Amino acid sequence: MTSTDGKADALVWVALIHTPGPTATSPMSKDPRFVKHLAVLRSLAQEGWLVAAGSFSDADGEGMTVVRVPHSVGIQKISTLARADESVTSGLFDVRIRPWNFAMTG
């Protein structure tokens, strides 16, 4: 992204770390509440903010989502969306919201 003056627009990168919540069932993807989580991911994608999302292959129910938003949106908006995810509010997942210092790509 670049602004009209040619400088890169400030972007905020955020990692959402999901772990099984207090009412999680196994396998997590079969829990009916999981579709609520997918809906949040789709909404992030529709906004153009989703970079990547997926589960960790070595731990059932754990995963990470990386989002990139304009500074004007900021981490607080992403935090609010992540905590309002019905799969989080219902206890299927716990979520940690972490600012991420993007440094390099291949």
Per-residue pLDDT tens digits for 44-103: 999 999 999 999 999 989 999 999 999 999 999 999 999 999 999 999 999 999 999 988
pLDDT value, residue 9: 65
User: What is the span of the domain harbouring residue 15?
Assistant: 11-99
- In this prediction the pTM is 0.87
As a whole number of angstroms, the distance between CA 75 and CA 92 comes to: 23
Give domain status of residue 41, yes or no.
Answer: yes
- Domain presence at residue 106: no
19 belongs to a structural domain: yes
Residue 100: per-residue pLDDT: 93
Domain assignment present for 4: no
- What average pLDDT does range 35-47 have in this prediction? 97
What value does the mean pLDDT take over residues 25-47? 94
Closest CA to 67 of 106, 59, 76, 34: 76
**What pLDDT was estimated at residue 106?**
82
Overall number of domains in the chain: 1
Indicate which CATH number applies to the domain containing 22: 3.30.70.1060
